Amino acid sequence: MKQIFRLLTIGVTILAFAALSGCEGEGDGSAPQNLSLAGTNYGQNVLLTWEEPASGMPSTYLIYFRAFGESDFATGIGVSAETLEYAHDPDGLTGDYYVAARFGSTEHSSDTLTTIPVHTGALLGTELNAGTESGYGWALTSDFSGSTYSLTSVPNAVLIDFYITNFINDSTAGPWPGPWCIASPDTATDDPGGSSIPQAAWRVNYFSDPLLDPDAILPNFAPTTYFKCMSGIEVDTTYIGVYLGAEHNYGLVKFYGADTTTGVLSVESWFQTVPDLRILTH
């Protein structure tokens, strides 16, 4: 009887130790923390970084991606529990991401983040001398939507990312001959038509040549691919890539219907909220 009791005691002790120590990747756990996205590999890939779960050590992490236009996430890509980052090649597509920590047969998922650009529908803008809404900017501290602005107001300097001009000192009565240009706000005070533009801390941004395919990856920022002003805005649709010099974000702008008689055109945009990522599939 004493021998049986000793064996039972040893068995209970072993089970208790196993319950306390557990096995890596099994039992209770929690989700990865503080997932973030950034562009990598010259802006063609997406770098996911995260922090360890608040509790538990997962057996693996799984990377999930749902491409723009798809209803389901693709099968998760497994990565070692020892790593806290993963560079994903989305093959030129934008989409949604989350990371799951796997504990045994259970997954705990992070928040979902996206690379799908923020779209702002068509707004009416004007050539610099034709009206008060020649400036355009994205709401970088809130929802990243686009709005038109006047360049005659100093407080707007921090809000405007580009303006429309023909670099002519036109009469306010028009007409305003083309071709029109997209230009960096910091050039406005030197614009021949910019006599009413006040000195201010105007933003410095850059623009690509007109683009043939609005869903293609934007050109990588370089002194030979982006410039402080770019001509080519006509009546027909024109797409131009934008690079924000301070934030390192890319955007895409669509211009159409430029009317040299009224001085008005339509402006539509897509803004990539992930820094350094130049994919804007939409």
The domains located in the chain, with CATH, are: 33-114 (2.60.40.10), 118-271 (no CATH)
Q: What is the pLDDT of residue 86?
A: 98
SS (H, E, C) the chain: CHHHHHHHHHHHHHHHHHHHHCCCCCCCCCCCEEEEEEEECCCCEEEEEEECCCCCCCCEEEEEEEECCCCCCCCCEEEECCCCEEEECCCCCCEEEEEEEEECCEEEECCCEECCCEEEEEEEEECCCCCCCCEEEECCCCCCCEEEECCCCHHHHHCCCEEEECCCCCCCCCCCCCCEEEECHHHHHHCCCCCCCCCCCCCCEEEEEEECCCCCCCCCCCCCCCECEEEEECCCCEEEEEEECCCCCEEEEEEEEEECCCCEEEEEEEECCCCCCCCCCC
* Average pLDDT value for residue range 13-17: 36
Percent of all residues in the chain with a pLDDT value above 90, rounded to a whole number: 88
The per-residue pLDDT for range 114-167, each reduced to its tens digit, is 999 999 999 999 999 999 999 999 999 999 999 999 999 999 999 999 999 999
The per-residue pLDDT for range 46-99, each reduced to its tens digit, is 999 999 999 999 999 999 999 999 999 999 999 999 999 999 999 999 999 999
* Average pLDDT value for residue range 188-206: 97
* Average pLDDT value for residue range 27-33: 87
Contact 266, 257 (CB under 8 A): yes
CA 270 to chain centre: 9
CB-count exposure of residue 32 (10 Å: 0-12, 13-18, 19+) = buried
**Which residues 6+ apart lie within 8 Å of 173 measured at CB?**
none
